[in-house]
Chains A and B, each alone.
Chain A
């Protein structure tokens, strides 16, 4: 959206306030609970990282949940077993995720787009298999528990409300960081790489390195979210980081829109509502339904949004706002040609 700095900040504050207002009413609204608000914020933060990878580097990752898992397991093992400070554990996880992503990026970014999807898929599955198989470290299938609540100075996040408020703040920081990036030298370089690699290289941008760094940055978002997730649930097991979570992040990013910093939160909200909605509605029609059948809704949402709104909901909303604006101002949309004519006549 074409907001200037102050417009953007005002919008950000507004959205933040809206999120806070959701807390008292959440339990009364359909499909929504305070616990769901936490899930929504966690997924939005992690998916934001994927949005950067897809929107900037133009690459699809089907293994994003692995980085979420790196953060979660780092926090689980370091805070529960070694009693590290939560922040230190979180930072360690983020560094590990970034290194892992950079190494993976080095290998896979040489591949053509199609292969990359499959390579990241395989990477995600390998992570899942390893976490399940490495009993002595991760507790295998049973997982590992005893993770303390996140505490920082006098702040202790041991309720849904406090956790959500904190996450909501982290998400805003994540959005600001992403926007800072877009409006800066390295961010513009990434957008350039996404648009034309040969031209980006012609101004001195190291294309492979640029892609690797955005991949690492995306992994850091996921890892931080994973760490906070571990503190929230106090217990982690491999199933939270397998294929389904990776696909969920993909759905969140794409449905929300990969070229907007608002895409991930928007997509995450939709996915939470879809998940809860299906869980409530489906059993009424299919008796004895078990398993994660909300994926039907994920799949359909993905296909429908991409077919009808290729730029995602954020792109669609931006268009609506733009049209409404023009309509309110009651003048015709200036075509580029008309404006140029005006410019050249002057």
Chain B
């Protein structure tokens, strides 16, 4: 039992990250109908930017904030330069376009940062904390705290702000939203920006747990997508829950079987979800933001 708790403690940090990436998938999918292949690449961009800024001697807080903004900007660029001009293309073409954006971002990162993984230390130094017999690292607590804060911020945004409600209207019915003078193109821009910013936040809090490297976009994107699919692709909170469970499942897989299993766990879960329950585990919860 204590062994299992330890796996949970080491898995929830990663899991929260998957969840945050998954939130981005959910937001973009619901507002625009697109699965954005570049979602994990925003995380990569923010993480590596943060590393560089820290290495350049910038204090932690401004470094991380600038890095998050860099990620969000990549989202803006995706929407304005690629998605918006291609609005009339077929869904097949739109998917391939986001793949193009992802590849371009990855190549750019390779040119800027090279192939070596980089990292910085935890936000607060100190030994792991003991919780119910399991050791939990301080950075994991940071990740969980930030995730909780993001969840609350998202809830507030979608429930209490006009823009958030407009985006929800867009999610339910794009044509009807247009009739209410909601501009789908603008909502799409907001969705991409927000999704990229959330992924950026995930990227900068992740680095002390895992090194940042140029081709981390695909694995994190795919796992974020898995998290979102577990949640049925309709609810940011479903995606967060999905991410946490995926993270724990991975840690258990690594713990009980082998470290090579880690990748396998996510793909198996994704395969099972897609085959058995493509509508997600939370199928009854439709278009729920809170």
Contact = CB atoms under 8 A, between A and B. Distances in A.
Direct contact between A and B in the complex (CB less than 8 angstroms)?
Answer: yes
Given A122-B271, A125-B263, A307-B85, A291 B100 contact: no
A346 to B, nearest CB: 37
B92 A306 contact: no
A299 B270 contact: no
B89 A296 contact: no
B263 A117 contact: no
Interface stretch (B60-68, B110-118, B153-161, B168-176): B110-118
B111 A286 contact: yes
Contacts of B86: 306-307
Interface residues of A, number: 49
A299 B86 CA distance: 16
Interface stretch (A25-33, A54-62, A73-81): A54-62
B103 A133 contact: no
B106 A118 contact: no
Contact of A306 (B89, B103, B218, B263): B89
A12 interface: no
A344 B256 CA distance: 77
Given A117-B95, A125-B267, A306-B89, A299 B110 contact: no
The majority secondary structure among interface residues of chain B is helix
Contacts of B89: 306, 310
Interface string A233-269: 0000000000100010011001000000000000000
Given A108-B274, A122-B222, A306-B86, A292 B110 contact: yes
Contacts of A123: 271
B289 interface: no
Contact of A119 (B85, B105, B106, B271): B271
Interface in B241-290: 260, 263-264, 267, 270-271, 274-275, 278
A243 B106 CA distance: 12
Contacts of A298: 100, 103-104, 107
Contact of A302 (B96, B105, B115, B278): B96
B103 A295 contact: yes
Contacts of B97: 302-303, 306-307
A197 to B, nearest CB: 14
B108 A290 contact: no
Contacts of B275: 107
A294 interface: yes
Contact of A126 (B34, B93, B260, B267): B267
A282 B267 CA distance: 35
B128 interface: no
Contacts of B264: 126, 129
Nearest to B225: A118
B93 A296 contact: no
A11 interface: no
Looking at B100, B105, B275, B278, the one whose CB has the most chain A CB atoms below 10 A away is: B100
Contacts of B274: 107-108, 111, 115, 118-119
Nearest to A114: B35
A76 to B, nearest CB: 22
B102 interface: yes
A75 B184 CA distance: 52
Given A118-B270, A302-B100, A306-B96, A293 B110 contact: yes
B133 interface: no
Contacts of A300: 100, 104
B82 interface: yes
A111 B271 CA distance: 11
A128 to B, nearest CB: 9
A129 B104 contact: no
Looking at B99, B274, B275, B278, the one whose CB has the most chain A CB atoms below 10 A away is: B99
A330 to B, nearest CB: 34
A202 B115 CA distance: 53
18 contacts: A58-B92, A59-B92, A60-B95, A111-B274, A115-B35, A117-B35, A125-B267, A250-B96, A288-B114, A291-B115, A296-B111, A298-B104, A298-B107, A301-B100, A302-B100, A302-B104, A307-B86, A307-B97
Interface of A: 54, 58-60, 62, 107-108, 110-115, 117-119, 121-123, 125-126, 129, 133, 243, 247, 250-251, 254, 282, 286, 288-303, 306-307, 310
Interface of B: 29, 34-35, 37, 82, 85-86, 89, 91-93, 95-97, 99-108, 110-111, 114-115, 214, 218, 222, 225, 229, 260, 263-264, 267, 270-271, 274-275, 278
The list of the 10 closest CB pairs from A to B, nearest first, reads A299-B104, A296-B107, A302-B100, A299-B103, A295-B107, A303-B100, A114-B35, A291-B115, A122-B267, A293-B110
